Amino acid sequence: SQPSATNIPPTPSSPQLAEVSAAIVKLLKQPGYDDGSAGPVLVRLAWHSAGTYDVTTNTGGSNGAGMRYEKEGGDPANAGLQHARAFLEPIKRQFPWITYADLWTLAAVVAIKEMDGPEIAWRGGRTDFTDESRCPPRGRLPDGTKGADHLRWIFYRMGFNDQEIVALSGAHNLGRCHGDRSGFEGKWVNNPTRFSNMYFKLLRIHDWKKKKLANGLEQFVYVDKDLEADSDVDGEEPEELMMLPTDIALLHDPAFRVWVDKYAQDKDLFFRDFANVFAKLLELGIRRDEVGRVVNQDNLDGGYKS
Ligand code: CCH
């Protein structure tokens, strides 16, 4: 049913979305930034926008784009995501009809596909909060210094199970840690702009050693000896790879470990499970009316109004 009488446009049509997606593909290449791609940080933006969800109160989630406000954007867990939002700003200006909440989530799905990852189901219709009153409280996102109990505490609150926690963690195939954002340093895999199951393979095969950083944080590191030998020839520095304490927890917790092993051995299974769980992440807390607009929570403002 088309809401023509009320002059409220429906959620983005396929041709409209194709245009936005094409524009996102174009901006992914960022030669001067990190490893040359905006992709990883866009994936993190979508994840942090959605990962605030609390199933018992039905608050948080990717609706609202609350990170535009200091209350949510200023959460130390979100440090650095202003870069992702800035990358997308020209697209928002070019296509003012799309909401930030839809744009941030769509950008991650487009980026993952473009980085050789799986196709992920996505639906539009999210609305943008017009003030910070409905932003979720800070402190709902995971803390990398912690262990398996913490991961379960955080992700069960969103409604995920152990298998889904491990599948989602495979996103650490992408991108890196920045000393001036999280305090951790380095990347998980050698090619951090190509989506794969390498994270799980490296987690299992390497002997990860604890390293204390100058800022006092502890992470786990491994220096590839073959790479080191090669680099004598290339003149390139071998790069140390890293894992967070929460990544290492997946290896040592027996229930998580089952899935680390499966995903390391079966890329197709990982891609399938990741596509499903990432789609679920982006839908947390979202309920739509008959034209697809989000009507969950007490959401009455923002969105695709004329
Ligand atoms: Fe993550 N992540 N993440 N992560 N993350 C960081 C970077 C990325 C944790 C901590 C960190 C997920 C789960 C967890 C990405 C996607 C996902 C960083 C470095 C920390 C710390 C931030 C910095 O310094 O810039 C913890 C703890 C968890 C617990 O499970 C999940 C789930 C996803 C997505 C599905 C991506 C992508 C990055 C790279 C960002 C970049 O800028 O390169």
Nearest 5 degrees, angle CA 49-CA 301-CA 42?
20
pTM for the predicted model, two decimal places: 0.93
Separation of 230 CA from ligand 1 center, angstroms?
29
Shared-domain flag, residues 32 and 54:
yes
What local confidence, expressed as pLDDT, does residue 306 receive?
A: 37
For the chain, list residues with pLDDT below 70.
1-10, 224-238, 296-306
What local confidence, expressed as pLDDT, does residue 17 receive?
A: 94
d(CA 87, CA 33): 11
Query: How many CB atoms within 10 Å of residue 290?
Result: 9
Instruction: Look at the chain and report how many structural domains it folds into.
Output: 2
48 labelled catalytic: yes
ipTM, 2 decimals? Answer: 0.99
CATH number of residue 206's parent domain = 1.10.420.10
CATH number of residue 20's parent domain = 1.10.520.10
Q: What are the b/e assignments for 157-187, b being 16+ CB within 10 Å? A: bbebebbbbbbbbbbbbbbbbbeebbbbbbb
- pLDDT per residue as tens digits for the range 158-192: 999 999 999 999 999 999 999 999 999 999 999 99
What local confidence, expressed as pLDDT, does residue 161 receive?
A: 98
Shared-domain flag, residues 61 and 98:
yes
d(CA 9, CA 18): 17
What local confidence, expressed as pLDDT, does residue 233 receive?
A: 54
What local confidence, expressed as pLDDT, does residue 301 receive?
A: 47
What local confidence, expressed as pLDDT, does residue 172 receive?
A: 98
- pLDDT per residue as tens digits for the range 85-127: 999 999 999 999 999 999 999 999 999 999 999 999 999 999 9
What local confidence, expressed as pLDDT, does residue 170 receive?
A: 98
Strand ranges inside 101-182, DSSP E: 176-177
Separation of 12 CA from ligand 1 center, angstroms?
29
306 in any annotated domain: no
Does ligand 1 lie within 6 Å of residue 45's CB atom? no
97 labelled catalytic: no
Backbone angles phi, psi at 64, to 5 degrees: 105, -30
Shared-domain flag, residues 16 and 125:
yes
- Pocket mutation for ligand 1, best pick of 177, 200, 273, 274 (most atoms within 8 Å of C-beta): 177
What local confidence, expressed as pLDDT, does residue 100 receive?
A: 97
Question: Structural domain of residue 135, as residue ranges?
Answer: 4-141+279-283
Rounded to the nearest integer, the mean pLDDT of the chain is: 91
Could you tell me if 299 and 130 are in contact, meaning their C-beta atoms sit under 8 angstroms apart? Answer: no
What local confidence, expressed as pLDDT, does residue 1 receive?
A: 39
Q: What percent of the chain has pLDDT over 70?
A: 88
Shared-domain flag, residues 169 and 207:
yes
